[in-house]
Chain A
């Protein structure tokens, strides 16, 4: 079968909402979302640690949920929303988490931090009240080689406690 008879195309047009803003682009079919963000859009805050879905450094939000940027094609995000570390920082949505991380030095080389923050954001936004062990389990798909995790867990625990506190006191 000649290639011209094959379905699809090597480049496709996507329409997405990236960090809250509409984006329309031609993307290479073969390019994963993390590379699209980093190379085409120069949003380099999303990092590549393994490119086979294990380390979590490339974690972004797709339709509000954490996904591996390396296991998502750029083409697949058409019709969906994508949020990255840059957008979530700019909007202030990550501020509480970021401040708690910084205060505890819950990052050293910070190469894992984008992914770690986005995964943590999914947890703290869920409204759940996880135990410390459950926080550890939720974050166990994000590899950190520097911190030993303890300070990260402390930070996430603190954010959850603060927001639970707010809820209990009836504040938004």
Chain B
């Protein structure tokens, strides 16, 4: 374990994100704030049809429009880039049609880019885009996965033969037998509509190709500059050491800004062709038809219970992944993670599951916070809650009896999950206490008597965080799960750090600063941390899957420890003291036993950099060090948590209010409780939004009907509850830092707890709501069905 935390500024301290003073003064530098000399602006002409043939494109009028530098179509852009084939090599049978940057003779989703207009200003580019004339022949569109699977359905990519991207099944133990012998079987079909990350800052980049030396610099609102360096280099045939990708201040990512976007790469090609910087910032309208989306699943789920014990679960999942496989960030992941993680907290060994990823004429599904884990949580928690209810067992008691006991760890679940340092019982016990469970149940009962329907939902989850090489390596995706940290003592004694991590608001760079401060022995205000520059940072991954602090933090810990060792070695040489008799405390080299200052860091720096002439010949000054970290064999660090929602359903109108929300989370060692708790809160509100408000509404033939912020409903402050966050800390054992990931826990748990809570509210009325989001109409319909005697 690292040395004990410095009480106010090191590991364990509550420190706000250090960039906030600058950002809250309006001094942020987000990608749209950046201006380069001779920079042009791009916008795209996009397919208005979900599926259509392009008969002709006429760009002449557009090219003549004021301010226009160029109008490019597929014939200009596509030859410069290798087509993408978004398949995972280690998933036999995973198929995708190749995807080129611009649609050439056919568009397969509404919003697919067809032409790029580059002009002096965005306004002029948009004016010119309206002058691009395209002759379309609409084709029958496949709008959803059920339609896509039906016999005789149009096949979107004829070379694939059908619309199935991937079909995977697993089976462990004897599920058929368990279901046959069960006392109780519950079987339901859940539906999840398409949703979006809706970062407040939309996607964007400034692509700057310099024809003078053939180098490419991209300032990119992206979570992994290294991934994009590789993509730009590999796909566009630019030597990798001539590609630099930098992430500026970023206004939210949530996984959405991890994906690969043809419009972004087309922008880079435009810069290549024009030899000038080109900026492309997605505007809100186009974000609806171009950002990678999420969810969009049908899941049939079943549970078998015998003698009050869960004996089996089964999932049959069908996800509509859009028109192509997402390159590198494979969109079969939502289904795969749903079926492999569902039920993991519960001690049953019979399991059967199938996931199918289906092509439809819609925008691509990509990474978005949680990636399938919300489904895993919702299915298991709903089924166990209903089972407990049917058996007359309190839901918390049912969980206690059915969780995998600590004594059984480590174990591998039938879905294949490795559980090591999880803490299901501790989290549940703490939660029950924090929410005042008995009091809430009493209140709920009382209010039911007065015709007020409140629900209490408890949801447990476990969550893969911080994926390692075994996850991506075999897939063929060139994604590094290693992260690194350069740390340097400045001549004046302060510390400068560059990490490979990126920060979209979660405060990762602050956590790194805390770790560096602690491991070197300085106050945090003596440390600066920069991140996310593929040319300057050590090679690494970036931010996704709740990995930053866990992995990059471990690298920082190593680097800081190395720097301290080197400083002490030099200090020892300067002061003629054995290095192991020294320590660094608060920026000073001190006698380890007496605490007396021996030499300041500033003096060490001054001598180490400018007065080497005063040092013995054999003293090797190394005041700048680099360290990386990856756990070669570690698939992920499994974290866990539990949440509770207390909701009220207005059965007259179908409106739902979340009255209270609580979370008890175990993300291992908590480096910064303030940042961690705020991550959880933010994730929770996204989760509430997902269950109650958010959906992309499509017509039957695949047209997006609600593509504005007035119609896609992101939750606002007045409808959200106060949120209590508590922790259990079970440190990850394989690292020194002991931290696991936290970024997605809030959303995963909240989706589970709100699903369960709303259904709990409807129990006395015999109603179930199974279609997310729970719009007022869906609630009213569920109540109507119950009144008519249909349970679902």
Contact = CB atoms under 8 A, between A and B. Distances in A.
A98 B25 contact: yes
A45 B720 contact: no
B682 A108 contact: yes
Given A50-B709, A105-B507, A108-B507, A44 B26 contact: yes
A39 to B, nearest CB: 8
B505 A146 contact: yes
A151 B21 contact: no
A52 interface: yes
Contact of A111 (B21, B25, B251, B722): B251
Counting contact residues on chain A (CB < 8 A from B), the size range is: 35 or more
Interface stretch (B195-203, B235-243, B769-777): B195-203
A140 B714 CA distance: 11
7 contacts: A52-B284, A85-B24, A105-B675, A108-B682, A109-B505, A111-B30, A137-B718
Most buried by B among A31, A43, A147: A147
B123 interface: yes
Given A45-B25, A46-B26, A52-B708, A147 B682 contact: yes
A102 B16 contact: yes
Interface in A59-113: 84-86, 89, 98, 101-105, 107-113
A99 to B, nearest CB: 9
A104 B720 contact: no
Most buried by B among A38, A102, A104: A102
B32 to A, nearest CB: 7
Contacts of A46: 26
A162 interface: no
Given A102-B16, A148-B684, A45 B716 contact: no
A152 interface: yes
Interface of B: 16-17, 19-21, 23-30, 32-33, 35, 121, 123, 197-202, 249-252, 254, 283-284, 504-507, 674-675, 678-679, 681-686, 708-710, 714, 716-720, 722-723, 746
A49 to B, nearest CB: 5
Most buried by A among B35, B197, B201: B201
A113 B708 CA distance: 22
A86 B681 CA distance: 29
Interface of A: 30-31, 38-39, 42-52, 54-55, 57, 84-86, 89, 98, 101-105, 107-114, 117, 133, 136-137, 139-153
A104 B21 CA distance: 12
A110 B505 contact: yes
Contacts, number: 181
Main secondary structure of the interface of A (DSSP, over half): loop
B252 A145 contact: yes
Contact of B25 (A49, A86, A109, A149): A86
B16 A104 contact: yes
Contacts of B674: 104-105
Given A140-B716, A146-B252, A113 B709 contact: no
A148 B682 contact: yes
A147 B681 contact: yes
Nearest to B127: A30
A148 B252 contact: no
A39 B32 CA distance: 10
B709 A110 contact: no
Contacts of A98: 21, 24-25
A55 B202 CA distance: 12
Given A54-B709, A145-B252, A150 B723 contact: yes
Given A30-B123, A143-B716, A110 B28 contact: yes
Contact of B26 (A114, A141, A143): A114
Nearest to A103: B16
B504 A109 contact: yes
Contacts of B722: 150, 153
Nearest to A48: B32
B678 A105 contact: yes
Nearest to B675: A105
Contacts of B16: 102-105
Contacts of A102: 16, 20-21, 24
A66 B203 CA distance: 27
Contacts of B28: 44-45, 110-111
Given A45-B26, A104-B16, A109-B505, A143 B714 contact: yes
Contacts of A108: 17, 252, 504-507, 678-679, 682
A81 B767 CA distance: 56
A104 B201 CA distance: 22
B200 A49 contact: yes
Contact of A148 (B26, B249, B254, B720): B720
Contacts of A143: 200, 709, 714, 716
B283 A110 contact: no
Given A57-B200, A112-B200, A145-B254, A107 B24 contact: yes
Contacts of B682: 108, 145-148
A49 B32 CA distance: 11
B12 to A, nearest CB: 15
A101 B24 contact: yes
A165 B572 CA distance: 55
Contacts of B506: 108
Contacts of A107: 17, 20, 23-24, 505
Contacts of B121: 39
B22 to A, nearest CB: 9
Contacts of A48: 32, 283
A113 B23 contact: yes
A110 B19 contact: yes
